[in-house]
Structure 1
Amino acid sequence: MSATTADTHVFDVREDNFEAEVLQASLTTPILVDFWATWCGPCKTLGPMLEKLAGEFNGAFRLAKVDVDKSQQLAGMFGIRSIPTVMLVKDGQIVDGFAGALPEGQLREFLLRHVQPQDGEAANDDGETAVQETPEEAISRIQQAIAAEPERTELKLDLALALMWAGNVESAEAELAALPANLATDPRAVRLRSQLDLARALKGAPSMAELQQRIQANAADWEARDLLGVRLLLDGDAEAGLDQFLATLEKARDWNDGQAKKRLLAAFSTLDDAELVGRYRRRMASLLF
């Protein structure tokens, strides 16, 4: 890979071109936004690795560089409290991100969760093709990394996400609550908080089959619709879950202090599908206004 090849996928961005070059451009190609500064030591390590990967992924994503000293308004808009901070924008929305300089292997794992290289497959540090790990493997790997580098607080957020992925809600919640203040507004932490709020609603809840039976018996069983919507959403059937919340919003918008609207807003913050979210936002708005 030549430097020229990498450079075609890397560009600088400021306030005057952010909307066009990042938000609009992300509708067709994911944009990885790197908030950095010339005086930042970790940025000097992370930046070249990101540029290298941008070349290797060959257009699967583009790397937008934001110098926080030259673009303070952008940094403030995104609540940047430490650098480097990296955010992935797809379909006009932030879908993931991290703070701090990660090793190249973890950068590859992060990218492969969202994009695939255009020509060939991204390899790990040993030159082997990266393989999707199980939730349990991820937890073990991250715990070992924390033991080796306890000063890397961003690993604690990685652990909380892995625990949620494994379905260990209580442990994920405990890790999230223990995060340092600088990670509290990380996009991944915000999303995880919404997921945990939804998961918490299912504690002691009836099974999906029982909830469906209750709704068949009484279409106005709003509690059953609410819990069924949460179950469907967390089980990966987002559209069916959102439909349950909309049904309540349409017929009983004030039920339980407007809970259907709250559920919809929480659900939107956990979903990556911008088209689906946009469609259901419009449906929600049509019912409310």
Structure 2
Amino acid sequence: MQPRNMSMSGVVDLAAVKAAQEAKAKAEQARAEAARQGGGAVSAVSPSSLVIDVDEAGFERDVLQRSTEVPVVIDFWAEWCEPCKQLSPLLERLTAEYNGRFVLAKIDVDANQMLMQQFGIQGIPAVFAVVAGQALPLFQGAAPEAQIRGTLDQLVQVAEERFGLTGLTVDPDGEQAGQGEQSAEPQVPAGPYDALLEAAVQALDAGDFGGAVQAYKNVLSDDPGNTEAKLGLAQAELLQRVQGADPQQVRKEAADNPGDVRAQIAAADLDLVGGHVEDAFGRLVDAVARTAGDDRDAARVRLLELFEVVGADDPRVAAARRALARALF
């Protein structure tokens, strides 16, 4: 199964952003429910389920889906690889020591050549992480244990602070789980807008962007602060705007008419959908800097909307906010 939610070069992946927000909301809701019940754990898994063998057929289930609950560290290895024989046992020991803060997925590259190619791996051992559908290269080769610990510490910190993934609760007395067993999913109470949000997601998946926009607006009309609906609306409106557009024609108009704010806005939308985040932001900051009045305000508003799609904690958003401030003042 192709790791379609991955972004190996840091581009925007709308599916991954959505998964991250859903994972964060689920984790926060689960923690709140646990607190109401006296602080008890929301779920527990057996220690053996923290290390799993993964193949191409089970990649989406065992890595992509699981990464919305807990960071998944991937160890690409092969039987003939001598450094792998040093690194793999160390990773397994650290997985047990971190006690549910991440899951270790072991992938034999000889048996899963497609996954090796999709991750762009040139040599093994190679270690990646997947968090809320986003792939992150960690290191290659048999690195020193201290370095590996530092990398894993950063991973679990980012997973918790950015995505709200605090890991799994491990039951040391739990039954031995079979390889590939799915982690127990926290049971959380249904929210009052779950049906509407699910309808919006289904509309997005079906390409009905107008329907998704309306569903998210229905949620926000009753709950203006709903984070998931705000993010979903920004995504759906962006996809609706570029639907049916001729990318070549849009980019030609923007290039031929640098002073046309509407042309620059349309091109910025395409830039973002195509993963060219800095280009989208830079294009609109430039438009703000060289215009005034309604044109300037239109470029500024669209830039703020694109910030919502990418996420406030993305460093590219922070940099663009600074550039926008300079352009305005």
**TM-score calculated relative to the size of structure 2:** 0.45
Which of the residues 288, 308, 311 maps onto 1:249?
288
How do 1:196-275 and structure 2 match up within 5 A? 196-202=236-242, 206-256=245-295, 258-272=297-311, 274-275=314-315
Could you say what secondary structure the match of 2:300 adopts? helix
Q: CA deviation at 1:184?
A: 4.9
1:227 is displaced (CA, Å) by: 0.7
* Cα distance in structure 2, aligned partners of 1:193 and 1:158: 13
TM-aligned CA deviation for residue 260 of structure 1 = 1.0
Contact 1:208–1:231 (CA under 8 A) maintained in structure 2: yes
Counterparts of 2:280 and 2:272, CA distance in 1: 5
Match of 1:278 in 2: 318
Deviations 1:82-103 (A, max 9, x none): xxxxxxxxxxxxxxxxxxxxxx
Query: Are positions 1:186 and 2:226 aligned together?
Result: yes
The structural deviation recorded for 1:57 is 6.9
SS of residue in 2 equivalent to 1:174: helix
**1:157 Cα shift?**
1.0
> Mean alpha-carbon deviation: is it higher for 271-280 or for 181-190?
181-190
Q: Alignment identity in percent?
A: 14
Change (3 A) 1:195 1:166: same
- Whether 1:128 and 2:180 are equivalent positions in the alignment is yes
- Seen in structure 2, the aligned counterparts of structure 1 residues 216 and 173 have a Cα distance that, compared at 3 Å, is closer
Residue 252 of structure 1 aligns to a residue whose secondary structure is: coil
Following superposition, the deviation at residue 168 of structure 1 comes to 2.4
2:155 corresponds to 1:116? no
**Counterpart Cα distance in 1 of 2:272 and 2:220:** 29
Gaps of 5+ in 1: 1-29, 59-104, 131-149
* Aligned-partner Cα distance in 1 for 2:240–2:328: 26
- 1:1-289 alignment, distance < 5 Å: 32-34=27-29, 36=32, 40=36, 47-49=41-43, 109=65, 111-112=67-68, 115-117=71-73, 118-121=102-105, 128=180, 153-179=193-219, 184-202=224-242, 206-256=245-295, 258-272=297-311, 274-289=314-329
Q: Which has the higher contact order (CA 8 A, sep 6+)?
A: 2
Task: Using the TM superposition, give the Cα deviation of residue 277 of structure 1 relative to its aligned residue in structure 2, in angstroms.
Answer: 0.8
| 8 Å contact kept, 1:157–1:189 | yes
How far is the alpha carbon of 1:282 from its aligned partner?
A: 0.9
Residue in structure 2 matched with residue 134 of structure 1 by the alignment: none
CA contact (8 A) 2:49 2:180 kept: no
In 2 relative to 1, CA 187–152 (structure 1 residues): closer, same or farther, beyond 3 Å? closer
Q: Which letter does structure 1 place at the counterpart of 2:104?
A: G
Residues in 2 aligned to 1:126 and 1:155: alpha-carbon distance in whole angstroms = 34
Check 1:180–1:226 CA distance in 2 against 1; reply closer, same or farther (3 A cut): closer
| Matched residue type, 1:168 | D
1:93 corresponds in structure 2 to: none
Deviation at 1:128, TM superposition (A): 3.5
> Contact between 2:307 and 2:317, CA under 8 Å: does it hold in 1?
yes
Partner Cα distance (2:292, 2:66) in 1: 39
Which of the two has higher C-alpha Rg?
A: 2
The one-character-per-residue Cα deviations of 1:172-200 (angstroms, maximum 9, x if unpaired) are: 12332444866653211111122234344
Deviation at 1:219, TM superposition (A): 1.7
Amino acid at match of 1:120: L
TM-score normalised per structure 1: 0.50
Alignment check: 8 A CA contact 2:281 2:303 kept? yes
- Describe the SS at the equivalent of 1:167: coil
Structure 1 residue 167 displacement after superposition: 3.4
Measured against aligned partners, the alpha-carbon deviations of 1:256-289 in whole angstroms (never above 9, x if no partner) come to: 3601111111111111461111111111111112
Distance 1:230 1:110, change over 3 A: farther
In the alignment, residue 259 of structure 1 is paired with which amino acid? A
Change beyond 3 A, Cα 1:154–1:120 = same
Letter matched to residue 281 of structure 1: R
User: Is contact 2:261–2:299 with CA below 8 Å preserved after alignment?
Assistant: no
User: What is the aligned length?
Assistant: 189
Does the C-alpha gap of structure 1 residues 287 and 39 become closer, same or farther in structure 2, counting only changes over 3 Å? Answer: closer
